[in-house]
């Protein structure tokens, strides 16, 4: 994957692997979800087990963005919080980005808007475990990343498509 230095700034923090390299629509949906306030999922009793798995996957992706925003906005918060919301290449990607921000003394503000575009069972991981994939449009236009002098170093893209994958439980 090719990333330029601008792409590693705040606007591209979410480019965890695997990735869809595509822009989202220019206009956000009427009600994108701010990562800091995930929408509640329907109750377990109203969903089949497969539907509940996908509802949990959607919530997991929104929670990921909530944690990434919080860690970007609070350089004193422990990066170990990432362990609860990411693993593998995605965990390492976010850990490296956030560590880089802290080394450069960059601090964020605001919350990413996460618009779920699709959620689906994605087959298995090669070890017989079922997986899910959630595609989102992430809008970081209401966020900033500033240096110690207060200069905004945020760079486009402010809206990008992101694909997250994980294991289904059960």
111 domain-assigned? yes
Residue 116 tokens read as: 């779920």
Task: Specify the number of domains making up the chain.
Answer: 1
Q: Is the pTM of this model over 0.85?
A: no
Domain annotation covers residue 31:
yes
Task: Give the pLDDT confidence of 104-135 residue by residue, as tens digits.
Answer: 999 999 999 999 999 999 887 777 778 899 99
Question: Can you tell me the distance from the alpha carbon of 151 to that of 80, in angstroms, rounded to the nearest whole number?
Answer: 28
**Structural domain of 128:** 6-167
Q: How far apart are CA 132 and CA 157, in angstroms?
A: 26
Query: Is residue 1 one of the residues assigned to a domain?
Result: no
| 110 touches 144 (CB < 8 A) | yes
Name the 3-class secondary structure at 120: strand
Q: How far apart are CA 54 and CA 145, in angstroms?
A: 32
Question: Per-residue pLDDT tens for 61-107?
Answer: 999 999 999 999 999 999 999 999 999 999 999 999 999 999 999 99
Record the tokens describing residue 35, joined without a space.
Answer: 């990562």
């Amino acid at each position: 994957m090719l990333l330029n230095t601008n792409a590693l700034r705040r606007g591209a923090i979410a480019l965890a692997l695997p990735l869809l390299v595509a822009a989202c629509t220019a206009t956000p949906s009427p009600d994108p979800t701010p990562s800091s306030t995930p929408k509640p999922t329907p109750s377990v009793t109203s969903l089949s087990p497969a539907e509940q798995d996908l509802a949990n996957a959607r919530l997991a992706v929104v929670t990921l963005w909530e944690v990434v925003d919080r860690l970007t906005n609070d350089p004193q918060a422990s990066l170990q919080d990432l362990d609860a919301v990411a693993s593998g290449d995605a965990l390492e990607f976010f850990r490296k980005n956030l560590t880089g921000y802290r080394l450069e003394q960059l601090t964020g503000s605001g919350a990413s808007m996460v618009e779920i575009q699709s959620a689906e069972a994605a087959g298995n991981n090669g070890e017989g475990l079922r997986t899910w994939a959630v595609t989102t449009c992430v809008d970081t236009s209401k966020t900033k990343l500033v240096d110690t002098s207060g200069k905004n170093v945020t760079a486009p893209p402010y809206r990008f498509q992101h694909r997250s994958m994980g294991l289904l439980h059960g």
